[in-house]
Structure 1
Amino acid sequence: MSLLKVIKQQLEILWGLFASERKSGLKNVLCLISLCLLMGLGASGILYMSLRALQCSLLVALSACGAFAAVIPGALFLSKYLRCFILIFLISCGTKQGRNTLITAGTGVVLYNCAQNSFHNLRGLAQCIVCYLVDKISSIKSLLERYVEIIEWLPQKLRDAGKKVHVKIPNPVVTQGMDEELQNYLNVTSHQLENLSQRLILTFDTVLMVSKVSVTALGILFVLVGTGLYIRKYLHNIEFENIFITKQFVEMDERKCNQGEPPLFPLTKKEKKCFIKIPSWRLTTKEQKITLKFFTPIFANSLLWAIIILIDYGLYLLISSIRIHFVSLPNMTLGLSLQAGVSYEGPLFKSDCFPHTTLTIDGVWIPLAQISSVLVLLTLLSTKLLTLKILVLSSFYPDAQRDRVYFLYDRITRKRSSGILKCNTKKSLKAAVNSVSFWFPIFKMKLKIEQTENNQ
């Protein structure tokens, strides 16, 4: 016997021990405890990553995971149903429930960072305007003082020419009246702008913290609830996900064939499009449709993320172009009188007042790339993970699997005799796109929880 066959045989023995009730014997007990410890460590790892995502301290995360790892293995050892639930939960993190949670997290990251960055750029533009006005006050004051010098110089020049002229200039009115009023107004405006900025920054930080906590906590809760609903549908709805040609189905067909009935294999071309034979490494037509349907909301939400980022990028380009144009403006020069020697020269826009713009992509691309990579990986594995869930449930609930095999066998037999075979179709893509849950999957998961509570 080859090494691979020995390993396969041992793995089958361990899996049979894990998926059944506790068996007597020291060897069986030790093997089951070891398997429960491994599963407990896997669940503790997911809990640790969730706590770290909530920005919990390392000590708190390790303490919680340590307590979890100490309690869960014992509970898994005592309960076969808990072992099934935890295993389906771990698999569900890579199926629709996990996908919806990641999409919601990605949408939150994009919305928060783009809103914060747009606010930062607009605040910079507003501060730029205030800075410009403050700078122009001193420039206007300097210019008025030059005009006063000219007016004072002019009578003296006329007297020297033999003409009698009397001029009285109210200096405080000219140089201080408008200056003080405008300066006070700008100070108040600048103070209000700074207070508004601080309040909005505090609001953004609070929203970020609450969003991280709520999305992570609700994500885990929805996966838990979705796992329970999935197992319940599998046990109580014989038509639910009953599209898999399993090993038990093949064995039944062989028994029927030995009893003289016509075999069902090989499946017809139409049947191969409706049913999935497992195990199979190639993607069937049915699996390709499932994969496409799994990826559709990911693609649509990715476009939404790109549109939001582009809007923020457009605002960045607009403010940056304003900065570039003001930098290129020449200095303002006024030659009032060559004989008086009075002139004025200064920039139209002070360089210190130019707004400093930032880009959203600088703070978004790392978490968004991580989320997108995981979503693409889940898309590639979506059908295989769905198949794995069915295999796990069939191992833990052999009676339910037997009933499902009988139902599927009778269904195919009846459809062949009538010549009609209709695949179970879901709602159309257009209807899905028009629903709110397509763009914000967290609402769909919330609706499922409410329906479950109403049924109870």
Structure 2
Amino acid sequence: MISKGLNDLRILAVDVFTSGNREGFKRTAILLLICAFPSLLLSVLLLLYLLYTLTCDLGVSGGIAAIHGVLLTLALFLSQRVRCLFTLFVISIFTKKSRSLLLTAGTSVVVLGNIHNTLENLTGLVRSMICNLRAKKASVIAPFRNYVDMLKWLADILQGVTDLGVFNLDSQLKISPKVDLEHFRERLAQAELKLNQSVKYAVTFINSVSSVKEGVYPVISVLALMIFITLHVRKYCRDMKYKNNFISKKFIDFDKKQKAEGKQHVLPLTSEEEKLYPSLPSLRPTAQEGKALLKFGIPIVSHLVAWVIFITVDALLYCFVAIITTKLSEMESFHVPLLLSLKGIATLIGVHLGEENHHKDFSYSVTLFEKQCLPKPKLLLHNSIVPLAAILLTLLVMAPVAAKLVQIRLMVCERFYCTEAEERIKYLHAKILRKRLKKRREKESSNSLTLLISKPHFWCPLLFPEEVNTT
């Protein structure tokens, strides 16, 4: 009993929504509820889009979403054409146009996300090199200071050795290390400035493209989809040949009516005609639907390969920079041993007076890469893999359904445009009859020609004169 009531309610709701007959409070209330539910759902989605994508204020976003919900509910409630376009719009999410939109969105996610991350990793690597060169300015002078100290120490030792008491050899060693770093600093500053300009330009370009994609692309996509749907409805109503090759339930009823009135009928169809005119709806997959499914899946596979390449390049660059960082951080400092030992022997007229040993350590260490300048790569795969997984899952759901959506769209138009559907049924019925008549005439002509050729008088009319019927 409950299932029967629910089924009756479903039939009534479909009839009210498609016909627009609002006679009575019950039918008006049902139509209003049906129109309000999708409007509310779309208004919530619009509110989230304005808040989190376009970062609008809560008051502005709520006002726009509320106005949109009210206007859409009124339009659906008052106009049968709007209800048809809206239904086809929802259905068209599973069509090739929506597939193209999803693939474009996936490509935008991969290209913008991974290229942005790759650019940051490359920039960090170059910045670390500049930082290391800047840090090496001090370490370049350190070895020279050690050599200067060593020479000064030798000078002091030699000064003590040459002091013989009789005369004093006074030698002064003045050494001042000077390394010209101005040119080095200037080149580093130019390299860093050029790097910052390039990064700023690239980041600005990526952010601009991302902003346009997030703000304008959904609007353009919706407008393009609505234009496609409007053209589809227009062709359905005005062009009798447009996708008019399906045998629907209304066609069967019309043919039965023709048969009952003693007029020509076409059902049942021949095996050849069944291939040309499939039933609507048809759950059994046909060869044409298999080809459509294959055509639907080829762009998905090609885009998936491109996405994997972009993500792989980003991941490989991350691994490359991470390995370099690890190896450089584990590398020990280079120790340069510089030990100086002097042995002095004092003699006077061949007599050994004493012996002095002097030792000094001037060793120093040099690091290949400064610890504070090591690059720190980033790998933000979740920024691209999560939305890509959602897009691929949607495409996988769409793939088996896409082949049947042509039939579904035609069924929707048939429900909303009954007059045009009847005209299309009459046109298809007459078309099948014309084809049968043409085929019958061709067959009769072929049979008569075959019969004529088989007679002897056709080949030898003098020997075998044609018999004339005198009756």
TM-score (norm 2): 0.78
SS of aligned partner of 2:338: strand
In structure 2, the residue matched to 1:25 is: 24
In structure 1, the residue matched to 2:92 is: 92
**Is this contact kept in 2: 1:158–1:165, CA < 8 A?**
no
Is residue 305 of structure 2 the alignment partner of residue 285 of structure 1? no
CA RMSD in angstroms, aligned pairs only: 3.1
**Is this contact kept in 2: 1:121–1:358, CA < 8 A?**
yes
In structure 2, the residue matched to 1:78 is: 78
Report which of the two has the higher share of helix.
1
**Is this contact kept in 2: 1:48–1:62, CA < 8 A?**
yes
Is residue 370 of structure 2 the alignment partner of residue 368 of structure 1? no
SS of aligned partner of 1:241: coil
In structure 2, the residue matched to 1:110 is: 110
In structure 2, the residue matched to 1:432 is: none
1:210-248 C-alpha deviation (Å, 9 max, x unpaired): 221111111111112112111112222223233433111
Structure 1: how far apart are the matches of 2:217 and 2:22? 41
In structure 1, the residue matched to 2:446 is: none
Is residue 221 of structure 2 the alignment partner of residue 219 of structure 1? yes
**Is this contact kept in 1: 2:256–2:265, CA < 8 A?**
no
Higher relative contact order (CA closer than 8 Å, sequence separation 6+): 1
In structure 2, the residue matched to 1:437 is: none
**Is this contact kept in 2: 1:276–1:286, CA < 8 A?**
no
**Is this contact kept in 2: 1:273–1:286, CA < 8 A?**
no
1:307-336 C-alpha deviation (Å, 9 max, x unpaired): 222222333233334334434544211112
- How far is the alpha carbon of 1:198 from its aligned partner? 4.4
Code of the aligned partner of 1:112: L
TM-score (norm 1): 0.80
**Is this contact kept in 2: 1:132–1:349, CA < 8 A?**
yes
Decide which moves more: 312-321 or 302-311.
312-321
**Is this contact kept in 2: 1:54–1:216, CA < 8 A?**
no
In structure 2, the residue matched to 1:447 is: none
Alignment counterpart, residue 201 of structure 1, candidates 185, 203, 223: 203
Alignment counterpart, residue 356 of structure 1, candidates 376, 379, 385: 376
- How far is the alpha carbon of 1:32 from its aligned partner? 2.6
- How far is the alpha carbon of 1:362 from its aligned partner? 3.2
In structure 1, the residue matched to 2:9 is: 10
Structure 1: how far apart are the matches of 2:156 and 2:119? 56
Structure 2: how far apart are the matches of 1:7 and 1:75? 27
Note the residue ranges of structure 1 that are not aligned, 5 or more in a row: 421-456
- How far is the alpha carbon of 1:101 from its aligned partner? 1.9
1:72-122 C-alpha deviation (Å, 9 max, x unpaired): 222323222122122222222332232222222111111111221111011
In structure 1, the residue matched to 2:362 is: 342
Equivalences for residues 30-429 of structure 1 within 5 A:
30-48=29-47, 50-51=49-50, 52-160=52-160, 162=162, 166=171, 168-171=173-176, 174-175=177-178, 177-194=179-196, 196-256=198-258, 258=260, 259=262, 263-265=266-268, 268=271, 274-339=276-341, 340-413=360-433
**Is this contact kept in 2: 1:104–1:215, CA < 8 A?**
no
Find the structure with the greater CA-based Rg: 2
SS of aligned partner of 1:245: coil
256 and 179 in structure 1: CA distance in 2 versus 1, 3 angstrom threshold: same
Structure 2: how far apart are the matches of 1:296 and 1:308? 19
Structure 1: how far apart are the matches of 2:282 and 2:31? 29
Code of the aligned partner of 1:361: L
- How far is the alpha carbon of 1:392 from its aligned partner? 1.3
394 and 165 in structure 1: CA distance in 2 versus 1, 3 angstrom threshold: farther
Structure 2: how far apart are the matches of 1:96 and 1:179? 64
Aligned length: 415
Code of the aligned partner of 2:229: T
Code of the aligned partner of 1:124: G
Structure 2: how far apart are the matches of 1:40 and 1:283? 34
418 and 134 in structure 1: CA distance in 2 versus 1, 3 angstrom threshold: farther
**Is this contact kept in 1: 2:266–2:432, CA < 8 A?**
no
44 and 287 in structure 1: CA distance in 2 versus 1, 3 angstrom threshold: farther
